[in-house]
Amino acid sequence: MGVKTELPGGHFAFVLTRFIPDIQGLGPAFQIMSLEPNRPHENFFVLQNHPEMEDRRPGGYRFKVREIVPKYYSGLQVNKDPGVPLVWTGCILMVVGFYLAFFLSHRRVWVRLTNQGRDTLLEFAGSSHRNRIGFEQEFERMFQVLQEELLRPGRHSQEREEQA
């Protein structure tokens, strides 16, 4: 393939450019390029199973495929790519980031204690940028638990005994 071959007489040469195992269901074929002096190069096909499809060839020569002897070979490619774990780590971090960004709500809860003489003022606030109804329900539960703990009977007397 790709080797220039001159025919006897020296005024005609050709190059076998390509082998096609089955060209449009007609069987094996060779593509040949003619190299005639003072003429443009021509490409033509020679079919093994259909020599009757042979039309006039450059230089008046006729080509015929007598036998095709396949050569079998196999190749083995070994590859080492040390960057693959880094790429997979980045991919996993990106997926986790997408999950955090799109499926979890950013919620904030503030509690402020202010001393007002003998009393203490407790302020409880919160915000969420997503799923506000769910956050309101959870905020109400947190507020009720905090309120129950602060107003539980006997709580103040237990703390005073522990301090003494």
Residue bearing the bigger pLDDT, 37 or 78 = 78
Domain end position, chosen among 21, 40, 60: 60
Domain assignment present for 86: no
Q: Which domain holds residue 43?
A: 4-60
Task: State the sign of the Cα–Cα–Cα–Cα dihedral 97, 100, 106, 111.
Answer: negative
Domain assignment present for 162: no
Domain assignment present for 163: no
Domain end position, chosen among 41, 60, 79: 60
Tokens of 81: 């790519």
Q: Name the 3-class secondary structure at 87.
A: helix
Q: How many CB atoms lie within 10 A of CB 57?
A: 16
DSSP string covering 111-164, please?
Answer: EEEEEETTEEEEEEEEEESS-HHHHHHHHHHHHHHHHHHHT-TTHHHHHHHHH-
pTM equals: 0.41
Domain assignment present for 29: yes
Q: How confident is the model at residue 39 (pLDDT cuts 50, 70, 90)?
A: confident
Among 13, 8, 6, smallest CA distance to 42 is for 13
List, for residues 85-130, the tens digit of each pLDDT value: 999 999 999 999 999 888 887 888 898 989 988 888 888 899 888 8
Domain assignment present for 81: no
Among 149, 126, 150, smallest CA distance to 137 is for 126
Domain assignment present for 74: no
Domain assignment present for 158: no
User: How many structural domains are present in the chain?
Assistant: 2
Mean pLDDT of 59-79: 84
Domain assignment present for 53: yes
